[in-house]
Amino acid sequence: MKTMTTRYRLIYRRHRGGMFYCVDKTTGKRTSLHTTDPDDARQLIEARNNSHRQPALNLQIAQAYLTASDPACRYAFGKTSWIKFKFTARSPPRTATCEP
C-alpha cells in the first residue's frame, strides 16, 4: 500500500496569541489560519491537503457549497460552464453570489 504524504502541516504559535498556522512543506511558507480552535485548525489543514491530493474534485465540492448557500447557483451551473462571481471584499467572511 502506497502512503500519500501531506503537503501542509499544522503548527501552534503560543507567543502569537495562541494562533494556529499552516506550513507548506514544499516552500516552507507559513500562513495564519486565523483561528485559536484546534478542531477548526485541523479541519482547515485537512481541507488543504485534500484539495492538493484531489484537484479535480475541488470544483464539484465548490459547486455543492455554493448551491447550498445560494439556490440560484444550481441553475447557473447547468446553463453555462463559466460562472461569474461577485466577491464582497469588505465584509468578512467573503461571500460569493452567482450571476447566470
pLDDT of residue 76: 57
Q: Can you give the chain as a three-state secondary structure string? A: CCCCCCCEEEEEEHHHCCEEEEEECCCCCEEECCCCCHHHHHHHHHHHHHHHHCHHHHHHHHHHHHHHHCCHHHHHHHHCCCCEEEECCCCCCCCEEEEC
Is this model's pTM higher than 0.85 or not?
Answer: no
pLDDT of residue 36: 94
pLDDT of residue 41: 95
pLDDT of residue 74: 62
The domain ranges of the chain are 7-53
Cell of 57: 474534485
pLDDT of residue 80: 47
The answer to whether 7 touches 24, Cβ cutoff 8 Å, is yes
pLDDT of residue 66: 76
Query: pLDDT (tens digit, 0 to 9) for every residue of the chain, 100 residues total?
Result: 556 688 999 999 988 789 999 999 999 999 999 999 999 999 999 989 988 888 777 777 777 777 777 776 665 555 544 445 544 444 455 455 555 4
